[in-house]
Structure 1
Amino acid sequence: MVWACAWAQRSLPNSLSDSVLSVTKGSAQFALELLQTTSVEAGKFMNVAISPFSVWTVLTLLREGSAGKTNSQLQGALHLHDNNKAIRAAFRKLNNAVHASGNGVEMTGANALFTDINRPLQWEFEYLAEKVYKSGVHPVNFMNPSASVSIINRWVANITHNRIVQLVQEEDLKDPHLVIANGNFFKGKWLFPFNSSDTMREKFYDDKGIELGEVDMMHQDGHFRYSHISEIGSKVVELPYAGGQFSMIVLVPTGNTTINALLERISKIPIEKIYHRMITEEEEYPDAAVEVYLPRVVISSDFVLNKALAKLGIIDVFNDARADLSGISPHSIYLHKLIHKAEIVIDEEGTTASSATGGVMSDRQTMPKIHANRPFAFFIVENSLRVIVFAGKVVNPHM
């Protein structure tokens, strides 16, 4: 059995300005909503792996060069206010917090603008992209699509440590003016690793209780933050990574709650409420242990996010007649596709991930158990600012 002191802070720092706090909370809310919409698009039987922070970063940069209704739609979906100076300051804080390595955790990421050598960008946008959003600018000849694809994919492969080697194909470059890419790589060792000798073959079930086959089920007992949040129909546990800066939040539905119903419910509440419930219960039962069962799993997803983002209100930017990206280019351009790929590996040692985006508390008279032998959701969170870096839904570990 393992025991831990409190590894993540109780709440967001008091030193944050209201505007930075607003952007931070907005980023997390966008992440919850994006997981819900991509989950619906993937359907009941497909796993989902995404990097919400990756997608949020690309769209926040895109917003800088938008105007009119295109801008207001992006601003609303991203939960941003209209103070550009504060948004940029907040982005720096979030980006610096997320891309920190050490103590058993490696988190790296980068942005890049692949521009048409024959059609330069507005210099103000290019300056912001480089100086604020740390986006490298790479002029390419889109008249040679094969070479352009090779350049973009090599960049993505390098950033993701070759976990993702193909983000775009030639057919994705439809008369391109600009390709904005973001890549992230996360590798974290558990603060308390699972013992491989405790991993056993167990049955895994769908939402209806129908057996889907056997999985390698990891197990350990320890002092982890935990809560049974009845109003969303889920048990929740926080599994910290080495160093305490990042954690995985695992949510397993209870009773008749399906995984998609759970994701819809949590998309309507701040992630801070989930932390608050776990911390409150930790204070109520400071010496209690939790029994954790989590399958070893590898999941990956490949999304064109146009439809999922349209459900969040981002519509005009994808329309060649209505998109207003005049701050990016003097030419009339629009966002043809927003392609997002991610892969997440969970095992006894930790997690590897890459991307190219009130109620009744449980009775602690007996050791509570969170048993992920049915569809479940998870978030990899940077604890100091509650940034959701990666997220996923596992409905079938065999896929």
Structure 2
Amino acid sequence: MFTAYKWYTISAIFIFILAIACSKSIVGPDGPSGELPRDLTPQEKLLIEADQQFSYEIFKQTVAFDSDEENLMISPLSISMALAMTLNGAQGDTFDEMREALFLNGLEIDEINNAFKSLTELLTTADRSVTIKIANSIWHRNGLPVEEEFLDKMREFFDARIEGLDFSDPAAPDVINAWVKENTEGLIEEIIEEIEPHIVMYLINALYFKGDWLRPFDTDDTRRAEFKLETGGTVQTDMMHQEGKFALYFSENVQMVEIPYGDSLFSMTVLIPADADMPINQFIDEHITAGNLASWRANMSVDSREITLQLPKFEFEYEIEYNDILKSMGIVKAFDEWEANLKGIADVSPQNLYIDHVKHKTFIRVDEEGTEAAAVTSVGIGITSMPPQMIVDRPFVFIIHERESGTNLFLGKVMNPAL
């Protein structure tokens, strides 16, 4: 019986998934009800497939990198969209590394852009009872010679707000943060603390989600209950309670339930290890893959009997800088001050543009009514200082020599080269 199990979440794992991608999951209380307003385009299907691969890989990398953090949540869609905007300015090996790390090999940049544009339109209109806002912006230092073709693509495909600012003005971060706050409905108030002198551009994605459960939990049924910690102790938490029909999947590796929002196009998938003694980080590393999730979802079913679902209320925020993780995933040259090729954004020769940092912040609140969540990803573009100069415009000494033996062939001085 399902009621013999408790859903030890939070320290277990919440995977917050926009379940629209050709899913065969049965997510409504009595089976599927929501339908997409149209079929996915071939490019959208490829983009979603790439996003799933990227999602689970960067999630694993994040958990491994920040293993001491008890509660974390990321938005792979926000991260990939901010990087996709940046990809439009990358060239050569820098472009190839970024495209491969995003699992977008096989797609040309125009196909990538078109897929992000149409998928954004689909996500934000798929279920009128669920609110999804996806916003993009580019903020650049006044005077930066940004390529017009790059700006045109940002407007056309990412509907980006583009604005030049005096980055030396102490009020400049407030302007950017006000945009972040507005586009996350106040859940995230700040992404930039101060603008360092070498930063010349920010490419920012903001994502907001608000969905009411298809079948809300009754607040009268919420009660204090024990939540087991991996350390062996317990904490008291507000545990929501509901009896109903939900899609389930139990195997030797996982116990899994889908809790739908709205008309069931969007859902929260909650997973715990079948082995109660398995640490959650080990479970993520060994079992959370695109292949497993696809297989598990395909085998989900709704039991004819009502089951008992217990889920804790929770709320937290999370923040991480992704430089090291993205480098480990193959984006190396973009972060190198002199190897990066972002000339598609701006050619600032003899200086050079590079990715200085990728910052990610999230917030989530889960209660009896549903879920409210937000994410912001900021890609900060830096500019190198002028390369060292050797300007020989005054008297000098010169030596012509053989380097290995040290033999000097000629030595001289020049006080007036015009003679």
Residues in 2 aligned to 1:292 and 1:174: alpha-carbon distance in whole angstroms: 52
Give aligned pairs, total.
346
Note closer, same or farther for the CA distance 1:68–1:267 as it changes in structure 2 (3 Å cut): farther
Q: 2:132 aligns with which of 90, 107, 110?
A: 107
Counterpart contact for 1:225–1:279, Cα < 8 Å: no
Q: Report the counterpart of residue 31 of structure 2 in structure 1.
A: 5
Equivalent-residue separation in structure 2 for 1:75 and 1:44 (angstroms)? 30
Corresponding residue number in structure 2 for 1:189: 212
String of CA shifts for 1:272-324, please: whole Å, max 9, x gaps.
x5355344341xx6524332211100021011111222222222212212211
Alignment partner, residue 406 of structure 2? none
- Residue in 2 that maps onto 1:76: 100
Is 2:284 the partner of 1:260?
no
Residue 152 (structure 1) aligned to one of 176, 198, 213: 176
**Is 1:119 the counterpart of 2:140 in the alignment?**
no
Which runs of 5 or more residues in structure 2 are unaligned?
A: 1-27, 378-419
Letter in 2 for 1:202: A
Structure-2 change in CA distance of 1:204 and 1:286 (3 Å): closer
Q: Deviation string for 1:40-64 (max 9, x for gaps)?
A: 2222343112211111100011111
- TM-superposed CA distance for 1:353, in Å, is 0.3
Structure 1 position 101, deviation (Å): 7.2
| Cα-to-partner distance string for 1:64-122 (whole Å, 9 max, x where unaligned) | 11012211111111110342232122112221122237643211120000011111311
Residue 338 of structure 1: SS of its match in structure 2?
A: strand
The letter of the residue matching 2:86 is L
Q: Distance in 2 between matches of 1:264 and 1:50?
A: 16
- TM-score, normalised on structure 1? 0.81
**Which of 330, 349, 360 is the equivalent residue of 2:347?**
330
Q: Distance in 1 between matches of 2:278 and 2:332?
A: 31
User: Is the 8 Å Cα contact of residues 27 and 78 (structure 1) preserved in structure 2?
Assistant: yes
Structure 1 residues 295-334: aligned runs within 5 Å: 295-331=312-348, 332-334=352-354
Cα deviation for residue 14 of structure 1 reads 10
Q: Counterparts in 2 of 1:1-399, with a 5 A limit?
A: 3-7=29-33, 15-80=39-104, 81-100=106-125, 103-144=128-169, 146-170=170-194, 172-208=195-231, 210-230=232-252, 233-255=253-275, 256-270=277-291, 273-282=292-301, 287-331=304-348, 332-356=352-376
Contact 2:168 2:197 in 1 (8 A): no
Question: Retained in 1: the 8 A contact 2:187–2:363?
Answer: yes
CA contact (8 A) 2:53 2:103 kept: yes
Structure 1 contact 32–266 (Cα < 8 Å) conserved: no
Distance 1:31 1:163 in 2: 22
**Contact in 2 for aligned 1:105/1:189 (Cα 8 Å):** yes
Flag the 1:104–1:264 CA change in 2: closer, same or farther, 3 A: same
Q: CA deviation at 1:135?
A: 0.9
Distance 1:179 1:45, change over 3 A: closer
**Is the 1:174–1:336 contact (alpha carbons within 8 Å) kept by the matching residues of 2?**
no
> Displacement of 1:206 after TM fit?
2.2
Greater relative contact order, per chain length (Cα 8 Å cut-off, separation 6+): 1
Q: Given the two structures, how large is their TM-score scaled by the length of structure 2?
A: 0.77
Report the alpha carbon displacement of residue 195 of structure 1 after superposing the two structures with TM.
Answer: 1.2
Q: Is the 8 A contact 1:44 1:260 kept in 2?
A: no
Shift of 1:350: 0.2
Code of the residue aligned with 1:261 in structure 2: it is Q
Distance 1:17 1:183 in 2: 24
What are structure 1's unaligned runs of at least 5 residues? Answer: 358-399
Letter in 2 for 1:6: P
The alignment's C-alpha RMSD in Å is 2.3
Superimposed CA distance per residue, residues 12-62 of structure 1 (whole angstroms, 9 cap, x where no aligned partner): 999545443221110122111122111222223431122111111000111
In percent, how many aligned pairs have the same letter?
A: 26
Contact 1:305–1:340 (CA under 8 A) maintained in structure 2: yes
Using the TM superposition, give the Cα deviation of residue 202 of structure 1 relative to its aligned residue in structure 2, in angstroms.
1.4
